[in-house]
Amino acid sequence: MQPSHHFERLLNVHALYAPRDFVAIDDTPMCLEIGAGKGKHALIFAENHPDTTLYAIERTQEKYQAFIKLATQKSLPNLHAIHADAIAWTAFAVYPKQIQTCFILYPNPESKNKNQRFLNMPFFELLLSKMADDGQIVLASNIAEYVSEAQQLLDSVWRLPYTKRYIPSSSARTHFEIKYLARGETCQELIITKPAQYSTRFDTLLPLSLERT
Ligand SMILES: C[S@@+](CC[C@H](N)C(=O)[O-])C[C@H]1O[C@@H](n2cnc3c(N)ncnc32)[C@H](O)[C@@H]1O
Protein backbone atom coordinates (compact mmCIF):
# COMPACT_ATOMS: atom_id res chain seq x y z
CA MET A 1 0.00 0.00 0.00
CA GLN A 2 1.21 3.53 -0.78
CA PRO A 3 2.11 5.53 2.33
CA SER A 4 -0.21 8.43 3.17
CA HIS A 5 2.69 10.89 3.22
CA HIS A 6 5.28 12.21 0.77
CA PHE A 7 8.41 11.81 2.91
CA GLU A 8 11.00 9.90 0.90
CA ARG A 9 13.99 9.16 3.14
CA LEU A 10 13.56 5.88 5.01
CA LEU A 11 14.83 5.30 8.55
CA ASN A 12 17.36 2.46 8.53
CA VAL A 13 16.05 0.68 11.61
CA HIS A 14 18.52 -2.15 11.13
CA ALA A 15 21.38 0.22 11.94
CA LEU A 16 19.95 0.97 15.38
CA TYR A 17 21.35 -0.54 18.57
CA ALA A 18 19.25 -1.47 21.58
CA PRO A 19 19.47 1.13 24.35
CA ARG A 20 21.73 0.15 27.25
CA ASP A 21 19.87 -1.88 29.92
CA PHE A 22 16.88 -2.14 27.58
CA VAL A 23 13.73 -3.70 29.07
CA ALA A 24 10.89 -4.76 26.75
CA ILE A 25 7.36 -3.53 27.42
CA ASP A 26 3.89 -5.03 26.97
CA ASP A 27 1.65 -4.20 24.02
CA THR A 28 -0.89 -2.15 25.97
CA PRO A 29 -2.04 1.42 25.25
CA MET A 30 0.33 4.07 26.54
CA CYS A 31 1.47 7.66 26.20
CA LEU A 32 5.02 8.68 25.35
CA GLU A 33 7.04 11.79 26.14
CA ILE A 34 10.16 12.44 24.08
CA GLY A 35 12.78 14.71 25.65
CA ALA A 36 11.24 14.81 29.12
CA GLY A 37 14.07 16.85 30.63
CA LYS A 38 13.85 16.79 34.43
CA GLY A 39 10.38 15.29 34.17
CA LYS A 40 8.13 18.13 35.35
CA HIS A 41 5.43 17.48 32.75
CA ALA A 42 5.72 13.70 33.08
CA LEU A 43 5.23 13.82 36.86
CA ILE A 44 2.24 16.17 36.65
CA PHE A 45 0.66 14.16 33.83
CA ALA A 46 1.13 10.81 35.60
CA GLU A 47 -0.31 12.21 38.83
CA ASN A 48 -3.34 13.63 37.02
CA HIS A 49 -3.93 10.52 34.90
CA PRO A 50 -3.39 7.57 37.27
CA ASP A 51 -5.03 5.15 34.84
CA THR A 52 -2.78 6.11 31.92
CA THR A 53 0.68 4.63 31.44
CA LEU A 54 3.34 7.17 30.48
CA TYR A 55 6.84 6.35 29.25
CA ALA A 56 8.95 9.50 29.49
CA ILE A 57 12.33 9.41 27.78
CA GLU A 58 15.33 11.63 28.37
CA ARG A 59 18.76 10.97 26.91
CA THR A 60 20.88 13.44 28.91
CA GLN A 61 22.32 11.77 31.99
CA GLU A 62 22.17 14.82 34.27
CA LYS A 63 18.54 15.62 33.47
CA TYR A 64 17.51 11.99 33.69
CA GLN A 65 19.11 11.71 37.16
CA ALA A 66 17.09 14.72 38.36
CA PHE A 67 13.96 13.17 36.83
CA ILE A 68 14.41 9.68 38.28
CA LYS A 69 15.12 11.14 41.74
CA LEU A 70 11.75 12.93 41.76
CA ALA A 71 9.96 9.99 40.12
CA THR A 72 11.29 7.65 42.81
CA GLN A 73 10.14 10.01 45.58
CA LYS A 74 6.64 10.26 44.08
CA SER A 75 6.38 6.54 43.36
CA LEU A 76 3.81 6.71 40.58
CA PRO A 77 3.18 3.18 39.26
CA ASN A 78 1.94 4.47 35.88
CA LEU A 79 5.10 6.52 35.17
CA HIS A 80 8.18 4.95 33.59
CA ALA A 81 11.23 7.20 33.36
CA ILE A 82 13.53 5.92 30.64
CA HIS A 83 17.17 6.94 30.12
CA ALA A 84 17.68 6.39 26.40
CA ASP A 85 17.64 7.93 22.98
CA ALA A 86 14.00 8.10 21.97
CA ILE A 87 14.67 6.90 18.43
CA ALA A 88 16.29 3.62 19.42
CA TRP A 89 13.94 3.08 22.37
CA THR A 90 10.83 3.59 20.23
CA ALA A 91 12.14 1.22 17.57
CA PHE A 92 13.03 -1.51 20.08
CA ALA A 93 10.15 -1.19 22.52
CA VAL A 94 6.97 0.12 20.93
CA TYR A 95 4.34 -1.90 19.06
CA PRO A 96 2.42 -0.64 16.01
CA LYS A 97 -0.41 1.73 16.96
CA GLN A 98 0.43 1.53 20.68
CA ILE A 99 0.80 5.25 21.48
CA GLN A 100 -2.30 7.26 22.31
CA THR A 101 -0.60 10.61 22.88
CA CYS A 102 3.01 11.60 22.25
CA PHE A 103 4.37 14.75 23.89
CA ILE A 104 7.32 16.56 22.34
CA LEU A 105 7.53 19.69 24.46
CA TYR A 106 10.07 22.34 23.55
CA PRO A 107 12.45 20.15 21.54
CA ASN A 108 15.91 21.56 20.83
CA PRO A 109 15.48 24.11 18.01
CA GLU A 110 18.36 22.60 16.01
CA SER A 111 18.90 25.98 14.33
CA LYS A 112 22.14 24.88 12.68
CA ASN A 113 20.88 21.55 11.42
CA LYS A 114 17.20 21.67 10.62
CA ASN A 115 17.33 18.06 9.45
CA GLN A 116 17.52 17.17 13.14
CA ARG A 117 14.08 18.65 13.78
CA PHE A 118 11.58 15.89 14.43
CA LEU A 119 9.34 16.54 11.41
CA ASN A 120 12.38 16.57 9.13
CA MET A 121 13.64 13.25 10.43
CA PRO A 122 12.91 9.79 8.98
CA PHE A 123 12.19 8.81 12.61
CA PHE A 124 8.91 10.75 12.40
CA GLU A 125 7.51 8.13 10.02
CA LEU A 126 8.39 5.37 12.48
CA LEU A 127 6.76 7.35 15.26
CA LEU A 128 3.60 7.73 13.17
CA SER A 129 3.46 3.97 12.66
CA LYS A 130 3.47 3.57 16.45
CA MET A 131 0.61 6.06 16.92
CA ALA A 132 -2.89 4.69 17.50
CA ASP A 133 -5.69 5.61 15.11
CA ASP A 134 -6.78 9.13 16.10
CA GLY A 135 -3.74 9.34 18.40
CA GLN A 136 -2.23 12.76 18.92
CA ILE A 137 1.24 14.24 18.87
CA VAL A 138 1.59 17.41 20.94
CA LEU A 139 4.50 19.53 19.71
CA ALA A 140 5.27 22.74 21.60
CA SER A 141 7.85 25.40 20.81
CA ASN A 142 8.78 28.97 21.63
CA ILE A 143 10.20 29.48 18.13
CA ALA A 144 7.66 30.80 15.64
CA GLU A 145 9.75 29.71 12.67
CA TYR A 146 9.96 26.14 14.03
CA VAL A 147 6.17 26.01 14.35
CA SER A 148 5.48 27.45 10.90
CA GLU A 149 7.99 25.06 9.31
CA ALA A 150 6.25 22.18 11.10
CA GLN A 151 2.87 23.37 9.79
CA GLN A 152 4.21 23.47 6.22
CA LEU A 153 5.60 19.95 6.56
CA LEU A 154 2.34 18.67 8.03
CA ASP A 155 0.38 20.19 5.13
CA SER A 156 2.61 19.26 2.23
CA VAL A 157 4.73 16.28 3.27
CA TRP A 158 3.10 14.40 6.13
CA ARG A 159 -0.43 15.35 5.10
CA LEU A 160 -1.71 15.25 8.65
CA PRO A 161 -4.45 17.36 10.27
CA TYR A 162 -3.54 19.55 13.24
CA THR A 163 -4.76 22.41 15.35
CA LYS A 164 -2.61 25.20 16.76
CA ARG A 165 -3.00 26.96 20.04
CA TYR A 166 -1.11 29.63 21.90
CA ILE A 167 0.11 28.64 25.35
CA PRO A 168 -1.31 30.93 28.05
CA SER A 169 1.26 32.87 30.07
CA SER A 170 0.03 31.12 33.23
CA SER A 171 1.00 27.67 31.91
CA ALA A 172 3.85 25.90 33.70
CA ARG A 173 4.05 22.37 32.33
CA THR A 174 7.80 22.16 31.81
CA HIS A 175 10.95 23.92 32.98
CA PHE A 176 11.55 25.35 29.52
CA GLU A 177 7.96 26.51 29.19
CA ILE A 178 8.23 28.38 32.51
CA LYS A 179 11.52 29.98 31.39
CA TYR A 180 10.23 31.08 27.98
CA LEU A 181 6.92 32.45 29.27
CA ALA A 182 8.72 34.34 32.07
CA ARG A 183 10.86 36.00 29.37
CA GLY A 184 7.67 37.12 27.62
CA GLU A 185 8.18 34.78 24.66
CA THR A 186 5.26 33.42 22.67
CA CYS A 187 4.86 29.68 23.04
CA GLN A 188 2.73 27.68 20.63
CA GLU A 189 1.59 24.09 20.37
CA LEU A 190 0.52 21.94 17.44
CA ILE A 191 -1.84 19.10 18.22
CA ILE A 192 -1.39 16.66 15.36
CA THR A 193 -3.87 13.83 14.79
CA LYS A 194 -3.12 10.57 13.00
CA PRO A 195 -6.31 9.64 11.14
CA ALA A 196 -7.50 6.05 11.01
CA GLN A 197 -6.40 4.56 7.64
CA TYR A 198 -3.17 6.62 7.64
CA SER A 199 -0.38 4.39 6.42
CA THR A 200 3.42 4.39 6.66
CA ARG A 201 6.14 2.04 5.45
CA PHE A 202 6.61 0.74 9.03
CA ASP A 203 3.06 -0.31 9.79
CA THR A 204 3.87 -4.01 10.15
CA LEU A 205 7.23 -3.58 11.89
CA LEU A 206 7.25 -5.23 15.30
CA PRO A 207 9.46 -3.90 18.11
CA LEU A 208 13.04 -4.65 17.11
CA SER A 209 13.54 -6.49 20.41
CA LEU A 210 11.11 -9.12 19.06
CA GLU A 211 12.39 -9.05 15.49
CA ARG A 212 15.90 -9.85 16.70
CA THR A 213 15.08 -12.77 18.99
C1 LIG B 1 15.02 21.93 25.24
S2 LIG B 1 14.93 20.53 26.25
C3 LIG B 1 13.25 20.51 26.82
C4 LIG B 1 13.04 19.61 28.00
C5 LIG B 1 11.60 19.56 28.52
N6 LIG B 1 10.71 18.97 27.55
C7 LIG B 1 11.14 20.94 28.90
O8 LIG B 1 10.34 21.51 28.14
O9 LIG B 1 11.57 21.45 29.96
C10 LIG B 1 14.93 19.19 25.07
C11 LIG B 1 15.27 17.87 25.73
O12 LIG B 1 15.08 16.83 24.80
C13 LIG B 1 16.10 15.86 25.01
N14 LIG B 1 16.21 15.08 23.77
C15 LIG B 1 16.47 15.55 22.53
N16 LIG B 1 16.48 14.55 21.63
C17 LIG B 1 16.23 13.42 22.33
C18 LIG B 1 16.13 12.06 21.96
N19 LIG B 1 16.32 11.65 20.69
N20 LIG B 1 15.86 11.15 22.91
C21 LIG B 1 15.69 11.53 24.21
N22 LIG B 1 15.78 12.82 24.62
C23 LIG B 1 16.05 13.75 23.70
C24 LIG B 1 17.32 16.69 25.34
O25 LIG B 1 18.29 15.94 26.04
C26 LIG B 1 16.70 17.79 26.19
O27 LIG B 1 16.71 17.45 27.57
pLDDT for the residue numbered 1: 78
What phi, psi does 16 have (nearest 5°)? -85, 145
The average confidence (pLDDT) of the chain is: 97
pLDDT at 182 over 70: yes
Mean per-residue pLDDT, 136-161: 98
**Whose alpha carbon is nearest atom 12 of ligand 1?**
35
Decide: 106 in ligand 1 pocket, CB within 6 A: yes
pLDDT band at 211 (very low <50, low <70, confident <90, very high): confident
Q: What is the pTM of this model?
A: 0.98
Q: Are 191 and 136 in contact (CB under 8 A)?
A: yes
Cα-Cα-Cα-Cα dihedral sign, residues 151, 153, 35, 25? positive
Q: Say how many CA atoms lie within 13 Å of 31 toward its Cβ.
A: 22
What is the percent of the chain with per-residue pLDDT over 90, rounded to a whole number? 96
pLDDT for the residue numbered 178: 98
Decide: 135 in ligand 1 pocket, CB within 6 A: no
Q: Measure 87 CA to ligand 1 centroid, in angstroms.
A: 12
Mean per-residue pLDDT, 121-127: 98
Q: Report the distance separating Cα 29 and Cα 113, nearest Å.
A: 33
pLDDT at 153 over 80: yes
- Residue 104: name the closest of 162, 65, 169 by CA: 162
3-state SS record for the chain: CCCCCCCCCCCCHHHCCCCCCCCCCCCCCEEEEECCCCCHHHHHHHHHCCCCCEEEEECCHHHHHHHHHHHHHHCCCCEEEEECCHHHHHHHHCCCCCEEEEEEECCCCCCCCHHHCHHHCCHHHHHHHHEEEEEEEEEEECCHHHHHHHHHHHHHHHCCCEEEEECCCCCCCCHHHHHHHHCCCCCEEEEEECCCCCCCCCCCCCCHHHHCC
pLDDT at 177 over 80: yes
Mean per-residue pLDDT, 151-159: 98
pLDDT for the residue numbered 82: 98
Decide: 189 in ligand 1 pocket, CB within 6 A: no
Decide: 127 in ligand 1 pocket, CB within 6 A: no
Q: Report the distance separating Cα 102 and Cα 128, nearest Å.
A: 10
Q: Are 25 and 50 in contact (CB under 8 A)?
A: no
Of 16, 32, 58, 87, the one to substitute when testing ligand 1's pocket (max ligand atoms within 8 A of C-beta) is 58
pLDDT for the residue numbered 15: 96
pLDDT at 212 over 80: no
pLDDT digits (tens, 9 = 90+) for 13-60: 999 999 999 999 999 999 999 999 999 999 999 999 999 999 999 999
Q: Report the distance separating Cα 150 and Cα 146, nearest Å.
A: 6
Out of 1-5, 33-37, 162-166, which region has the weakest mean confidence (pLDDT)?
1-5
Which amino acid makes up residue 81? A
pLDDT at 164 over 90: yes
Decide: 33 in ligand 1 pocket, CB within 6 A: no
pLDDT band at 168 (very low <50, low <70, confident <90, very high): very high
pLDDT for the residue numbered 213: 64
